[in-house]
Amino acid sequence: MLADQQRIHGYVNDLPGSKAEQIGAALGLNAVEMRVPIAKLLDEAKIKKTGQRRATKYFPGKK
């Protein structure tokens, strides 16, 4: 799981404004596999999000 967090974090840093569908497709993860890692990254403020549901976009958080 930690590896998925790191991969998602790296992807969001490289391509800010990505949607979960794009992240999952690029990293080979489905929505269920991404739910916990994204939640942890948001809790730790490593990424932030805008929008709701399918319009949610992820951006780098604080360093």
What CATH number did the domain enclosing 49 receive? 1.10.10.10
Please state, in angstroms and rounded to a whole number, the distance separating the CA atoms of residues 31 and 26: 12
Looking at the predicted structure, is the pLDDT value of residue 63 above 80?
Answer: no
Answer whether 0.75 is exceeded by the pTM.
Answer: yes
Looking at the predicted structure, is the pLDDT value of residue 9 above 70?
Answer: yes
In which region does residue 60 sit, left (phi positive, over 0), alpha (psi from -120 to 50) or beta (all else)?
beta
Domain containing residue 26: 2-60
Please state, in angstroms and rounded to a whole number, the distance separating the CA atoms of residues 59 and 47: 6
**Per the structure block, which two tokens stand in for 14?**
């490289």
Q: Name the DSSP letter for residue 46.
A: S
Q: State what percent of residues in the chain have pLDDT above 70.
A: 97
Mean pLDDT lowest among 1-5, 19-23, 25-29: 1-5
Measured in whole angstroms, how far is the alpha carbon of residue 12 from the centre of its chain? Answer: 6
Domain count, the chain: 1
